[in-house]
Amino acid sequence: MKVEVKKIDDVERELKFEISRERVSKGLEDVYKDLGKHAKIKGFRPGKAPRKVLEEHYQGTAQSELVKKIVPEIYYEGIDKEKIEPIAMPEIADVDFKDGAITFKATVDIKPEIKIDGYKGIKIKRKSSEVTDEEMNKTLEYFKQGQGKDKEVTIDDIFAKSLGYPSLEEFKKSLMKQLEVDKDRQNKVDLENQIIEILLKKVKFTVPKSLVKQQIENALQHQKEQWQRQGMSDEEILKKVGSEREGLKGPSERQVRVYLVLNEIAALEKIELKKDDNIFFKVMEFLLKEAIFK
């Protein structure tokens, strides 16, 4: 086996493989043995047809079977030999079976080198979770409209009872608690977004295309399932997938960039990630504890 490695950019590598005639010949011998056990050829019992006869009937099949088997084997031998650690499955291309040898090309992405510091003590601004009178009044108005009430109708005990509460005071207490919880949740998301924006400005690196592609496909698959539940036809879904794909490129690249940065921080801080842990929430919990609030 021969392998040549070409650096495309910081994360992309192109590997060119050549499998020797000897290895191909040995591989074909094994393939024909397996084919011969089940091959149905007139005049011969299963397992008794000579190699030459099998080649006349199954040469194309044998070569295809060999390629399916030997290309992955050689690929893994090659990346092990060259000490390359891909972060996604390779793209295999230009497979050529010629003069008894096989050549092919594999394009792979490796983990980008991420140098990051200053992620502790990030200065962020915490918004108040206190519910204002204006917010309370807007929410009450929303409930009133939801009940189909005319604008002239007063928000009173009768109104509260129509919503299942004993009095307007009890309804407002319950509503206040829910609004505080919602606002607190929104404020936490805001804090997380501030940290992410600061981190992304601190570090520059090439994002692997394979991870972006994978993220896009995952998002599209999730979206397709939603469309199917909504009763869309396969034809409609196919059209929407085509229009959605390009729009997902930017957001998907950002999501991959965020993941890689957080993953690097997790490694630097030796943050233990169990099987079901979400890396975003786990690392963000650490960063929020380390943050400085303005």
The per-residue pLDDT for 43 is 79
pLDDT at site 144: 82
**Residue 84 pLDDT:** 96
Quote the pTM value: 0.81
CA 5, distance to chain mean position in Å, is 27
DSSP three-state, residue 123: strand
Q: How far apart are CA 13 and CA 40, in angstroms?
A: 44
Which residues are CB-contacts of 93 (< 8 A; sequence separation ≥ 6)? 104, 105, 106, 107
pLDDT in tens, the chain (294 residues): 899 999 999 999 999 999 999 999 999 999 988 888 887 888 787 777 888 888 888 888 999 999 999 999 999 999 999 999 999 999 999 999 988 999 999 999 999 999 998 999 999 999 998 999 999 999 988 888 877 655 668 888 988 898 899 999 999 999 999 999 999 999 999 999 999 999 999 999 999 999 999 999 999 999 999 999 999 998 999 888 888 888 999 999 999 999 999 999 999 999 998 888 899 999 999 999 999 998
> For residue 168, what pLDDT is reported?
92
CA dihedral sign, ordered 285, 287, 290, 294: negative
Are the CB atoms for 128 and 116 separated by under 8 Å? no
Strand locations in 115-235 (E): 123-124
**So what's the pLDDT on residue 197?**
96
pLDDT the model gives residue 115 = 93
How far does the chain reach from its first CA to its final CA, in angstroms? 61
User: CA-CA distance, 220 to 227, in Å (whole number)?
Assistant: 10
pLDDT of residue 205: 95
**Dist. CA 293–CA 284, nearest whole Å:** 15
pLDDT of residue 150: 59
Angle at 151 between CA 149 and CA 152, to 5 degrees: 100
Dihedral-angle region of residue 184 (phi above 0 means left; psi in -120 to 50 means alpha; beta otherwise):
alpha
Model pLDDT, residue 148 = 67
Please report the pLDDT score of residue 48 as a whole number. Answer: 79
* H helix or E strand, kind and range, residue 12: strand 12-19
C-alpha 90/C-alpha 72 separation (Å) is 10
> Domains in the chain, start-ordered, CATH in brackets?
2-109 (3.30.70.1050), 123-293 (no CATH)
